[in-house]
Structure 1
Amino acid sequence: MRTTLLAPGAHEAPRGLTPGLLVLLGSLIGFAPLAIDMYLPAFPTMAQDLHAPESAVQGTLAAYLAGMAAGQIAYGQLADRWGRRLPLMLGLALFLLASLGCAQAASVGELTAWRLLQALGGCAGVVMPLTIVADRVQGEAEMARAMSRLMAVIGLAPVAAPSLGTAVLGLTSWRGIFVLLAVLAAAALVAVWRGLDDHRPVHHAPAGTPRPGPLQAWGTLLRDRRFALAVLVGPLASAGMFAYIGASAFVLIGQHGLSTGQFSAVFAANALVLTLASQVNAQLVRRWRPTQVLAAALPAVTLVGLGLVGLGWWAPQALWPLLLGLGLFMAGLGLVSANGSALALSGHAPQHRGLASGLMGTLQFALGAAVGAALEAGGHVDASVMALAMTGCAAAAWAAALARQRLAPPATA
């Protein structure tokens, strides 16, 4: 099938999302947290087996995040040029091969290189599903509902990943984790090949109309100040979650003395709270616009973060209030994530949807990596430092949403 373009002013009929397609797309997006969280329990064993310091093993995670940040814009441009299915299959094939490479790595440097390649393949599983959702639904509210429904599948990955990694370690070595990831990638590759049609932008332009180049596509998107602000909302809020992910082990295990099993239970519970809140959001946007939900959720999340900062300063040993505050923060993010994505991805011509999705994903992982690096550079991490980072990200997302709202035209429905 020939990739085609949509002329200015032309519209493409949305094709809808079946439950089976939602499960497939959500599972593909879930590869990212699965490949991040599943091997975390193996860090000490990997350091011993590879004769490397634990900091070097942690560097393999940084390489994965860097690859996820760097590759998504490229896949977005490939999606707009080649369609959705072929780049997705190529990315899954690269993820599969790199996972096998990780499983046989003989040194931490070799493992780091394979992890980078694994991420460059895996990020196709983030960009393409989001682009396909944008192809098949119309309007911010419908987009927000679709993203919320995706979270019901995506949210299972961070809930299950640490326990799944621990179970694999009980049966085999850390290398078995990467073999399992390769098997899952092979299954996903078959599912995409058999179950996903090659949906591409529809051509309504006169014959001979030149295809917009990458720079022209970038210019079209970034000249739209509403998009430039909207694409920041979700990634900035997600950076607050990355702050929690990066610091929570130091706070809950190091500061409060939780066991690794208790920490895994808290981690899974917060992931479940985020997932459930996203399902509540699917109902909220039936009554209120996504911008209205964001207008309530973002200040609430910021206030919860400020409460956690105060708790860290004045009652640093209070565990249960800390757990309650973290749960409330995750619940707020569950209301923010889908709506932020909806603002960024809805309303684009088909030839720009992949690039918009790739830019949003790149910002999400780049900002998350920046927050993690800032926490590491700051030295000692306690509850108040973690809460400050989370609150700063939430406040920045709120500011971006407010600025976009001032630019938005009045709603007509």
Structure 2
Amino acid sequence: MAAASLTLPYTSSSSYAAGSGSASSSAAASSLFSSFPLSQRRFVSCDSRSRIQAPNSIKCDLSEPPFKSVNGKPIVPILNERNLPKFLETARMEKTINRTSTRLKLFSGTANPTLSQEIAWYMGLELGNINIKRFADGEIYVQLRESVRGCDVYLVQPTCPPANENLMELLIMIDACRRASAKTITAVIPYFGYARADRKTQGRESIAAKLVANLITEAGANRVLACDLHSGQSMGYFDIPVDHVYAQPVILDYLASKRINSQDLVVVSPDVGGVARARAFAKKLSDAPLAIVDKRRHGHNVAEVMNLIGDVKGKVAVMMDDMIDTAGTIAKGAALLHEEGAREVYACCTHPVFSPPAIERLSSGLFQEVIITNTIPIAKKNYFPQLTVLSVANLLGETIWRVHDDCSVSSIFQ
């Protein structure tokens, strides 16, 4: 049976260093985070890696630059002092964390190898050698090309479109690790497909999110690490531990660099279901006021905007959602915000699903900027001038280390 194969080894390359300057105190006073001036941050390359750089900073030592420019800006931000927990201060650490463990193995699926590589760079590890094939009839073959016996294995594989292909690949990767006697298997799922099918809205519907959770558990995973699940209840569908991380600090860090006056800012939820998420986001943005777009949905991927709750006249509106699929909801919401007198409209989301015709809607001029993360890879043909892509690699890499070292994950977001 003929096969097309993809082998994903890691090879280190040249070193890279980059930095960002500090802002003046007067500029900081009018920023989104008025009490926290931006600090000078720098990526440093060196031979000996120390994962905890304290106090109050995370610095990444990169083997190769994961940076790419979008609109002349670096797309891999670093978490700054506002978002870091006290846990990272060495004076408060009760023990030295071993971050050179040979028992930790990191493997990448084919869904988002670029993100996996960036995570490996942050962690100072090499991606594990794995061979993934697609046979002529569409069947998937996975072979680990190095021993994982007794190791803690982390498999990075978002179940983004094509969701069924990537989900099946993840299940087979988990099975391969289990049969190779891995000590523990953690499925790192930056984007969890089927998360929207988390309840029955009509009679005789399936709850696919629960089914997928069962499949991952039965395949042999011991833990799941997910980013910005569509709803918190999805964590309860798993019978194994779930570490739920949020991309909010990465997006907040970028918005702080925009130097928007906090008095001009309003956070907008594109629907009623996202109010809790938008409220938490607004609280971090100097407790900005909140507005809500009320809409009625007449079918899947079809939304109709009805009215706006809140005042956006003369304001900079930041629309926050967990994902953008066809962009119907957020585009109609942006049009309504402009009608209501909003000065500028920004769209922020963690997961850029971008099903057609999302690109056309987002690039139509409604948005000053569309800010997303790289939990789902974006094809080069889908880039447009207003698009800015931020990386969650540092966040996921730090979380993996903390899980491996039995340290707190929730303290990252406090």
TMscore range, shorter length: under 0.3
Structure with bigger helix share is 1
Scaled by the length of structure 2, the TM-score of the pair is 0.22
Where relative contact order (Cα < 8 A, 6+ residues apart) is larger, the structure is: 1
Structure with bigger strand share is 2
